[in-house]
Amino acid sequence: MELLTKFEELVLLTVLRLKEEAYGRAIYEEILKATGKNMSVGNIYFPLERLTEKGYLSAFKGEPTQKRGGMGKRYYRLTQTGIEILKDTNKVNDYVWKNFSTLIDSVGRTGQ
């Protein structure tokens, strides 16, 4: 399976978390909350588009609102492939992050 980049992982998980409200701005704010990084909105959109191209996400258009100057929101949704890749990534993560706390403590003490 393809490994996701960390950022891609972040984005996909955020989309998952936001369920129905996964559009650009919301994702941007979630990532800001999660990482503390104030990315530019553009920086979010490129990965989003790439992920869409790769087939992990699908996009659909929302209703235009006044606030957005007449443009609709672009919502993102996990595709089946996306779900699969997240599951796989989770498995990988479980494996490599197993016993993290214990391991990190012992390194701290012996400095190894």
Partner 1 sequence: MKIFMTMLDRIIRSIFDSEKHYGYYGDIKEIFFDIAEDKGSFKALFWLFMQIARGLPSLIANNMQRSKSMLKNYLKMALRKIHRQKGYSFINIFGLTIGLTCFILVAAFVRNELSYDKYHENAEDLYYISKFYPDGTGSGSYGITPAPLAQHIKTNYPEVLNSARIIRGRSILVKFNSKIFFENSIYFTDQDLLDIFTVELIHGNKTIALSEPNSIIISQKIAQKYFGQENPIGKNLLLNNRSEYNVTGVFQDLPFNTHFRFDMLCTLASTNTGWNSNSFYTYARLKPNTSKFEFQEKLQILFNKILDEENTDEVKLIPVTEMYLLDAMEHPIQPNGDPPYIYILSIIGFALLIIATFNYVNLSVAHSASRITEITLRKVVGAKRGQLIIQFIGESTLTVFIAFVFAIIIAVLFAPAFSSFLERNIDLSFLYDIKFITLILGLTAFTGIISGFYPGVLLSSIKPEKIIKGFQKRSSLRSTVRNSLVSIQFAVSMVLILCTIVIFQQLSFINNKDLGFRKNQIVTIPVRVSDGLNGMKVLKEEFKKNPSIQYCTNSTFLPNNIQANDSVDWDGKAGDTENMIWMNYVGANFLETYGIELVMGSGFARLSNNSDTDRYIVNETAVKDFGWDSPIGKSIRLGDETGIIVGVMKNFHSRKLNNKVEPLVLIFNENYHYASTVSVQINLDNTSGTIKFLENKFKEVYPNFPFRYNFLEDMIYEQYKMDQKLFYVILYLAIIVLFTSCLGLYGFASHSVENRKKEISIRKVLGSSSKEVLSVIAKEHLLFVTIAFIISWPVSWYIMSKWLEQFAYRMELGILPFLYSGLTAYLIALLTIGYKSYKAATANPVDSLRYE
The residue ranges that bind partner 1 (CB under 8 A) are 23-25, 28, 38-43, 45-46, 49, 59, 61, 67-69, 71-74
Please state, as a whole number, how many other Cβ atoms lie within 10 Å of the Cβ of residue 56: 25
16 or 59: CB nearest partner 1: 59
64 or 84: CB nearest partner 1: 64
Is 9 exposed, middle or buried (CB count within 10 Å of its CB: 0-12, 13-18, 19+)? middle
Q: Which helix (H) or strand (E) holds 57?
A: strand 57-64
Closest separation in Å from C-beta 72 to partner 1: 6
Buried residues in 34-50 as b, exposed as e (16+ CB within 10 A): eeeeeeeeeebeebbee
Closest separation in Å from C-beta 40 to partner 1: 4
35 or 106: CB nearest partner 1: 35
Closest separation in Å from C-beta 91 to partner 1: 29
